[in-house]
Amino acid sequence: MNAAKMLGELMDNVDARKWDALAPFLHPDFRCTYVHTGEVLDREAWVRLNAEYPGFDRLRVEEITGNEDSAACRAHVTGFDAEQELNHFECATFVTVQDGLIHTMTEVWTDVDQTAPADTRPERAVPVQG
């Protein structure tokens, strides 16, 4: 199975909350780096974090690309906070495959609907909406 298909199936299993189905996609030496927090998780810790994440709602893959050895996807993730408000996130995930399993993963998470800091855009630059 190529890396893009493998990553897509892994993400489908996260969305379906099939926690026991995640580890078989991951190499025994799997490492996931969360760039935004500096955390590095092994296979067991990554599966556990996903399974026990408070308020998880949905993970929808928006786009995915790759080849035999590496893949990347962008996903829209929703989850409920302590006040039961639905929060929206975007996640970029990059993987490499070794021995037919996902060996490395890098994830970058961000909140949706952020406003760019003042004075960080040229005057004539107009963002495209929608």
Between the alpha carbon of residue 115 and those of residues 50, 68, 121, the distances in Å are 28, 37, 11
Q: Which domains occur in the chain, in start order?
A: 3-111 (3.10.450.50)
Q: Is 117 exposed, middle or buried (0-12, 13-18, 19+ CB in 10 A)?
A: exposed
| Percentage of the residues of the chain whose pLDDT score is greater than 90 | 82
Residues in the chain: 130
Asked whether residue 45 carries a pLDDT value surpassing 70, the answer given is yes
Rounded to an integer, what distance in angstroms lies between the CA atom of residue 111 and that of residue 109? 7
Q: pLDDT tens digits, residue range 82-108? A: 999 999 999 999 999 999 999 999 999
Which residue has 């495209």 as its token pair? 128
Q: Is the pLDDT of residue 42 over 70?
A: yes
pLDDT (mean) for 35-44: 96
Q: Is residue 48 classed exposed, middle or buried when 0-12, 13-18 and 19+ CB atoms within 10 A define those classes? A: middle
pLDDT tens digits, one per residue of 111-129: 777 776 777 767 766 666 6
Task: Provide the pLDDT for residue 127.
Answer: 64
Full-model pTM? 0.87
